[in-house]
Amino acid sequence: MDSSGFVNITDVVPDAILEIRYYSTYNFVGARIDGYEQPFALITKEAADSLRAVSDELLDKGYRIKIYDAYRPQMAVDHFVRWAEDISDTTMRQVFYPNVDKSLLFEQLYIMERSGHTRGSTVDLTLVDALSGREVDMGGVFDWFGGESHPDYCGNPDTGEWIAAENGLTEQQFRNRQILREAMLRHGFKPLDSEWWHFTLANEPYPDTYFNFPVSQLK
C-alpha cells in the first residue's frame, strides 16, 4: 500500500490551482488534519490523466480547476472520526455546519469511518475564472454540511433544469455547478449525490484498497 501508483496532480495538470484545506486550519475541524504533511494533492495516475482532460476542456472555456482535496490517508479519516465523537468541539460550526447538530454527523453520513478519497481516485474541486483568478460562484462553499451542497439543490443535474426557490441558488449558480459536473462526467468521473464538488473516477484502479501513506510531494 505505497504511493507507487500515484502522482502529484500539478505534475500532470499544470493549470490546476491547489488550496489544500486539510493542510491548513481553515476546515470544519479547525486544525491541520493528520497525514497532511505538505500542501500537495496526490491522485492515482489514471485519475490524473482524466483530470488533465477535464482541465484542458475547461481552460478552453475560460476556467481553471482549483483542488481542495484528492487522496486522503486513512489516518486523516480517523482524525475526522475522533473529532466528530467529541461533541464539545464546535470551533468551526458557524462556518461549516451552523444548521446541523454535531451529535448527528454520523447518523446523517457527514462523517464516516471510510472515504472514497482514501482509495486515491477521488477529487474535491471547484472552478476559477482564468482571467480574473476569482473563484466561480457556486452558491455554496466546499465542505458545507447541508442540503445546499447537494447537486440537485434547486435543480435537476441530469437534465440541467434549474428550479427557482426562495433563498436558493440563482440560475447562474446552478449553471456554474453544471459546468463543472458535465466536464467531469464527460471524462470518466462519477458524482456524489450529496456534494457538488466531489467526483470519483468511475473505473478507479484500487476500488478495494484504503491507503494510509501521508500527503507530501512525491519524488
The pairing of beta strand 161-162 with beta strand 155-156:
antiparallel
- For 159-218, the pLDDT digits (tens) are 999 999 998 999 999 999 999 999 999 999 999 999 999 999 999 999 999 999 999 999
β strands within the chain, DSSP E = 6-8, 17-18, 42-44, 63-69, 122-129, 155-156, 161-162, 189-192, 195-201
The pairing of beta strand 195-201 with beta strand 189-192:
antiparallel
Q: Is 37 a catalytic residue?
A: no
- For 1-25, the pLDDT digits (tens) are 799 999 999 999 999 999 999 999 9
> What pLDDT was estimated at residue 9?
98
**How large is the average pLDDT for residues 26-55?**
98
Residue 38 has pLDDT above 80, yes or no: yes
- For 100-111, the pLDDT digits (tens) are 999 999 999 999
- Please pick, among 19, 46, 195, 204, the residue that the annotation labels catalytic: 195
> What pLDDT was estimated at residue 136?
98
> What pLDDT was estimated at residue 22?
98
CA dihedral 206, 81, 28, 22 (to 10 degrees): -40
Residue 86 has pLDDT above 90, yes or no: yes
**How large is the average pLDDT for residues 73-92?**
98
> What pLDDT was estimated at residue 164?
92
> What pLDDT was estimated at residue 57?
98
**How large is the average pLDDT for residues 39-55?**
98
Residue 219 has pLDDT above 80, yes or no: no
- 3-state class (DSSP) for residue 77: helix
Distance CA 10, CA 30 (A): 26
Distance CA 124, CA 75 (A): 18
Mean pLDDT (the chain, rounded): 97
CA dihedral 55, 139, 197, 84 (to 10 degrees): 150
**How large is the average pLDDT for residues 119-126?**
98
